[in-house]
Chain A
């Protein structure tokens, strides 16, 4: 109602009088005049006629009124728009090709923009997310090698009192187990009780954690993550007030967070959020701080105040400070900008190229169609339309096409924007979810207008030229040369060159992705599944009550049960040993080295079966046996990289004869870990195994020491199970085997410890994902670009052949060889496509270095030439296919039109 009123008011302010009002007034004047004329002796009919001749027609009066009050431009624009739409309806083929060309470009660009908007501009749902910073430790200026810094409660409070800090959130996370129902692994995040106000996110249901939840050692309340709520409760809206039993304790559900809230996606998204006071009595509980700065505090100022506090904390913790240790504050968005921003910029460049190619296509189509419209435009110009008026009409028609393309494109972008998220989920904040909002719509409208003007201007200027008027008397004489040849050629050449650029980029991306897939792994991931086993922390089979021997016995019992599953060939146990990214760095001492030298190597805790299960070859010596495995001490196996770096005769450190090493840090850190008697003692190096990827697919293999897992039992165990055939089909049987040992022993489902086949683990490698993203998306972009360019060439040749039917008829009648006619028909397009490929090759070789840097891999000349050859071949086909019609022209038929 109010909207209607508003529209009425707007209409009134634009044109205060209605058409009928104006007409009625005019009629009354007309009537009075007519009366007077009759009084002067005119007959009724004569008077009526004379009145109309002198004053005008009443029906046209509203137009006069609107022109008088300055609405003419809008009326004309409206007319142009209607005319443009009618033109599109009359030429459905032309309309479809033009609109689709643009829809592709605008859709892809809008999709990419909405991704950039979601990831780089507004990824977090938190209030004041731009003021939230993480604490990072930086050593030796290596800004990318940050480590999580945890602090104590007192230190957290110190930090919160610092001047530039608004508030601090402390968190801790652990795995809990749902009890009283089917066992299920739950990732719990404990939050300081200021969480509700700190995040400022309104819960979907109920309330967030609030300060009063800290009372009496913490209320047993829980807030659910949206995904967990959907998964476990089926999105039940009446879940508030119900009880969730975890680790045999009941918790009251007080709230459900909205879907966009996925704290903390840097580590793992929590399933449930709990008050941290519930675990505050754990000695030395580490808090992960998240700092919210006061408004208008610069990061530099904040850092200057916060760093001394943090350095003080670090000094107390470490005894002495490592040299060059600095602490920095980084906005929470930083990591995504760093990792994904570059990818998105590259993809945006790709879609913008696609859009330009689509625009060039529309220009070509408009120019080609313009030939058939010269007659119409000549008439318009002859009856008084100015050049500007005709340019405006043609531009409006182009914008009509662009807007139709934008409507389709925006609809398509809704799905297109999800593609990168599907292909590379970890590259984007879990909280950023893609939607079309006002900003994005505005972006696409501007995009449509800009591209409409971009592709409409050249044809409009060309077709509105005064010499068009010469076309009026002759109408389609047929034998005239194709006008605007040069513009066509330039457009085709530009289109082809840009397409080649995209294709070469795609070829590079695909080649490097294939290269990555062929990287020697050093192990055999096929048919191996990793099953993660979270420990019981409470209840009957409580992990921390067990001795080391009991834990080993428990795991070995499970191992034997799994091994007895038919179809399972090898079962190995390990901890943090899942390639391609496994092991933790630790310093070690080697025989003959001084106490002060502390070289670093990866340490992997596995059992003797691990090498067989993953098919890692033994190069020298042997692997430990079962007894040695149970004891855990005095032995170690190293990988080839370790041997080459530290043990070979050529190494500079002179330890070539060393056969022993020790790892001083191999001690239990909390009650969940248990070490063997002599875990830090000297160990004999009994074997050398082949290098298996342990630092991602592209990084060189880190020198690594393999130790029996029993030497330091961690709460998390991983089973590596080699099966005959597809390992996932054995999962049910494996679960049953595990349940037969501990009936309520669940297996980990998600997170970095989850159950996963080793092939899936490779697919989760960030490098693999980003390379796959590039390969697929650029492959799609270049396929689209190629299709657009071919459509452009095809329609150009088809149009010009249709226009020049008579000419070809004459040529054939005069005895021109068919080959020659074919050449004449296809010449412009062939020459411009060739020129485009040449320019493209030149630009690509010039851009090669830049591209290689962007794509973080080498730009291969070979893939460039493959792309060029493919493009040349398909361009030739697109030229010759429609040109064929030129030689099929029957001379008599063609001349009949004369």
Chain B
């Protein structure tokens, strides 16, 4: 089994935006999808999960609407707003920049410095 990965601060919101960008999801669905995409390697801090969702909704990046879930229950479905789409793009770009810079530094061997 692969080792679980701990999430750096602030990245949970980015992951939620990504999960929602693939199609409207309710809260539990978002949780499942993140775990699914990550290959069950992410242990999401349960307590902070809804805090992140509330904050994203407050900022207008995602929009919640009541609907019916796959097992015919009432659930609140979240979808990405145009502002959220822009935000996700910006965050993704920032993240890959950071990763490449950090990976570049860490990947250097002693004789390359």
Contact = CB atoms under 8 A, between A and B. Distances in A.
A68 B46 contact: no
A29 interface: yes
Contacts of A64: 47, 50-51, 54
B76 A69 contact: no
B36 interface: no
Contact of B55 (A31, A54, A56, A69): A69
Contacts of B49: 55
B58 A68 contact: yes
Interface stretch (B14-22, B67-75, B86-94): B67-75
Given A28-B73, A54-B46, A56-B46, A33 B28 contact: yes
Given A55-B46, A56-B46, A67 B28 contact: no
Contacts of A16: 58
Interface string A452-466: 000000000000000
B26 interface: yes
A210 interface: no
B50 A61 contact: yes
A32 B54 contact: no
Given A32-B69, A55-B46, A25 B51 contact: no
A26 interface: yes
A46 to B, nearest CB: 17
A865 B61 CA distance: 74
A26 B55 contact: no
B24 interface: no
Contacts of B51: 64, 67-68
B17 to A, nearest CB: 16
B50 A31 contact: no
Nearest to A56: B47
A65 interface: yes
A54 B47 CA distance: 8
Contact of B28 (A24, A32, A70): A32
A28 B50 contact: no
A16 B58 CA distance: 9
Contacts of A54: 46
A416 to B, nearest CB: 48
Interface string B23-65: 0001110010000000000000011011110110010000010
Contacts of B28: 28-29, 32-33
Contact of A65 (B27, B46, B54): B54
B75 A28 contact: yes
B46 A31 contact: no
Contacts of B58: 16, 68-70
Contacts of A29: 26-28, 31, 75
A31 B73 CA distance: 10
A28 B74 contact: yes
Contacts of A55: 46, 49
A69 B26 contact: no
Contacts of A69: 54-55, 58
Contacts of B52: 68
Interface in B74-98: 74-76
Nearest to B30: A29
Given A31-B73, A68-B54, A69-B55, A25 B47 contact: no
A28 B76 CA distance: 9
A25 B54 contact: no
Contacts of B76: 25, 28
Interface string A762-788: 000000000000000000000000000
Interface in A21-69: 24-26, 28-29, 31-33, 35, 54-56, 61, 64-65, 67-69
Given A68-B54, A69-B54, A69-B55, A28 B46 contact: no
Contacts of B31: 29
Nearest to A66: B54
A35 B74 CA distance: 15
Contacts of A65: 50, 54
A59 to B, nearest CB: 14
A24 B73 contact: no
A62 B52 CA distance: 14
Contact of B69 (A28, A67, A70): A28
B55 A25 contact: no
A88 to B, nearest CB: 35
| Residue in B28, B31, B52 whose Cβ sees the most chain A Cβ within 10 Å | B28
Contacts of B26: 25, 28-29, 32
Nearest to B50: A64
Interface string A65-85: 101111000000000000000
B6 to A, nearest CB: 16
B54 to A, nearest CB: 4
Which has the most chain B C-beta neighbours within 10 Å: A24, A54, A61, A65?
Answer: A65
Contacts of B71: 32, 35
Given A33-B28, A64-B51, A69-B54, A25 B75 contact: yes
Contacts of A31: 73
Nearest to B52: A68
B74 A24 contact: yes
Max chain B C-beta neighbours (<10 A), residue from A25, A55, A61, A70: A25
B86 to A, nearest CB: 21
A16 B31 CA distance: 23
Q: Which of A24, A29, A33, A67 gathers the greatest number of chain B CB atoms within 10 Å?
A: A29
A19 to B, nearest CB: 13
Contacts of A28: 26-28, 69, 73-76
Contacts of B47: 56, 64
Contacts of B74: 24, 28
A123 B73 CA distance: 69
B60 to A, nearest CB: 11
Contact of A26 (B50, B69, B73): B50
Contacts of B64: 25
A289 B49 CA distance: 79
A16 B60 CA distance: 12
A61 B46 CA distance: 12
A68 B75 contact: no
A68 B59 CA distance: 11
B55 A68 contact: yes
B82 to A, nearest CB: 19
A65 B75 CA distance: 17
A213 B37 CA distance: 93
A70 B58 CA distance: 10
Contacts of A68: 50-52, 54-55, 58
Interface in A796-853: none
Nearest to A55: B46
Contacts of A25: 26-27, 64, 75-76
A312 to B, nearest CB: 75
Contacts of A32: 26, 28, 69, 71, 73, 75
A33 B50 CA distance: 14
A69 B75 CA distance: 21
A15 to B, nearest CB: 10
A56 B47 CA distance: 7
Nearest to A32: B28
Given A28-B69, A64-B50, 16 more contacts: A16-B58, A24-B74, A25-B26, A25-B27, A28-B28, A28-B74, A29-B27, A31-B73, A32-B28, A32-B71, A35-B71, A54-B46, A55-B46, A56-B46, A65-B54, A68-B54
Closest 5 A-B residue pairs measured CB to CB? A68-B54, A32-B28, A29-B28, A25-B76, A68-B51
27 contacts: A16-B58, A24-B74, A25-B26, A25-B27, A25-B64, A25-B75, A26-B27, A28-B74, A29-B28, A29-B31, A29-B75, A31-B73, A32-B28, A32-B73, A32-B75, A33-B28, A35-B71, A56-B46, A56-B47, A56-B50, A61-B50, A65-B50, A65-B54, A68-B51, A68-B54, A68-B55, A69-B55
